[in-house]
Amino acid sequence: MTMTTNGAHALGSTAQSAGASNLYRAVWRWHFFAGLLILPFLITLSITGGIYLFREEVDQFIHADFMQVTPSDEERLAPSRIIDAALAAQPGEAIKYTDPANDGLSTQITVQPETGGRIAVYVDQYTGDVLEVRPDRSTFAWTVRYLHSFRYFGSTPRMWIEIVGGWSILLVLTGVYLWWPRGQQGGVVSVRGTPKRRVFWRDAHAVTGIFVGGFIIFLAVTGMPWSSVWGAQVNQWANGSNFGYPAGLRTNVPMSDEHLDHVAKTSWSLEQARIPETAPPKAGMKTIGLDEAVASLGEMGLHRGYSVALPKGETGVYSGSVYPDDLAQQRVVHLDQYSGSTLIDMSYSDYGPLGRWLEFGINTHMGQTFGILNQIVLLLVCAGIVFLAVSAAAMWWKRRPSGSLAVPPLPSDRKAFIGLFIILGIGGLIFPLTGLSLLVMLALDLIWIRFNPKAAL
């Protein structure tokens, strides 16, 4: 009787061990696939993201010759005179005036020439000297931002943001399972061996991953709003009726077909916000002019560094907007160009709960919410992600047989994939492009196994 009982225990223990081994193989295989697919993109995103965290400091250093000015005791020139100076250097239509964030920075005027793209003109607001004329959004920081968001490469490559974000979450979750302590003495929070040994790279990879994994998920989720499919749909849904303003805030205010993102830098949740318009002017009515509009916005307490989009046509408005690091100071104000009355005055506190959470996530993703600490922590995370890629490559190289891709072997019991694919499927439904790429990877894996039977071993 005792032998029978012991035998049953032994068989149960063996079956349990085999099941755990099969699940481990299944998770390991798809962790490998996730890394193979997105690690090159994660390296690019980490390097550009780490630089962009310090965009203001970097831009003001690289472009000091036209971004920085010497403050003067003299009163600053009126905005209209600054625009006159800008138009003398670059003919066209002035469409935006950007107030300097501090007295040591120049004033930027955005001009639309008769032909071609928008031009940024930097003017010393104390002397009226034009310091630089260049294509709009062409500074070093803007270049890095467009590289980070794949915007340079069109809308189709930008879909990779969603794919990379979804697979990053998969990479972390499967990585946590592989890291999970199973009685080993090292490789949990310590690193064994030396760089010459594979175990060193395995432990360094695992330990780094467990410390930065939560940040990777946060960055992946908060980066999704910039994706061209999921992000666009959520943006439209979050804005409600495609206006971007809380319900009831625009009562009896006529809205134009122009969107806020088309005329000025704005927060993500307001990119689809439509700009109000004024009633057609009566005979003899004159606009208040930019000088009065800027003075009104200053009296209303807009944070330094705000932009003012000038009215387009006789029903346009003066649109003041500012998005500083402090979320509470975010604000959008639209003024009637004839009476100067406020048509809309909205700040972060007016957003709905979803809008506030989205903006908080995006603001933190960009290193703004918690000041320099936010920047330093995310810079270390970016460095950690690059190291994860390097250590993964080193680990793979050391275990790779000559002439083989060294894909982790399939589990002996394919049922081990069931639970894994259910979880992956849920993620694919939430992030459609990730789900589509998952199906493609699964099909390629099956084809690979069919024509390379040894790959399943």
Cβ-based neighbours of 264, under 8 Å, separated by 6 or more: 96, 307, 309, 319, 321
pLDDT digits (tens, 9 = 90+) for 287-335: 999 999 999 999 999 999 999 999 988 888 999 999 899 999 999 898 9
221 and 287, same domain (yes or no): no
Q: What's the pTM value of the predicted model, to 2 decimals?
A: 0.84
24 and 77, same domain (yes or no): no
For the cut 70, the answer to whether the pLDDT of residue 9 exceeds it is: no
The predicted pLDDT at position 372 comes to 96
What is the spatial distance between Cα 54 and Cα 56, in angstroms, rounded to a whole number?
Answer: 6
pLDDT digits (tens, 9 = 90+) for 175-206: 999 998 877 777 788 899 899 898 899 999 99
70 and 97, same domain (yes or no): yes
Distances (CA, A) of 412 to 31, 73, 298, 407, 416: 18, 79, 70, 15, 9
Amino acid at 42: L
Is there a domain that residue 100 lies in? yes
178 and 269, same domain (yes or no): no
107 and 126, same domain (yes or no): yes
251 and 342, same domain (yes or no): yes
The predicted pLDDT at position 381 comes to 98
What is the spatial distance between Cα 302 and Cα 295, in angstroms, rounded to a whole number?
Answer: 10
Q: Which of 118-122, 156-160, 405-409, 429-433 has the highest mean pLDDT?
A: 118-122
Is there a domain that residue 58 lies in? no
Cβ-based neighbours of 205, under 8 Å, separated by 6 or more: 388, 391, 392, 395
93 and 129, same domain (yes or no): yes
391 and 339, same domain (yes or no): no
pLDDT digits (tens, 9 = 90+) for 80-121: 999 999 999 999 999 999 999 999 999 999 999 999 999 999
Is there a domain that residue 365 lies in? no
Q: Range of 318's domain?
A: 247-347
Q: Which of 10-14, 72-76, 120-124, 245-249 has the highest mean pLDDT?
A: 120-124
* CATH code for position 101: 3.10.450.40
- The burial class, CB within 10 Å (0-12 / 13-18 / 19+), for 381 is buried
**Counted domains in the chain:** 3
Q: Final residue of a domain: which of 106, 138, 170?
A: 138
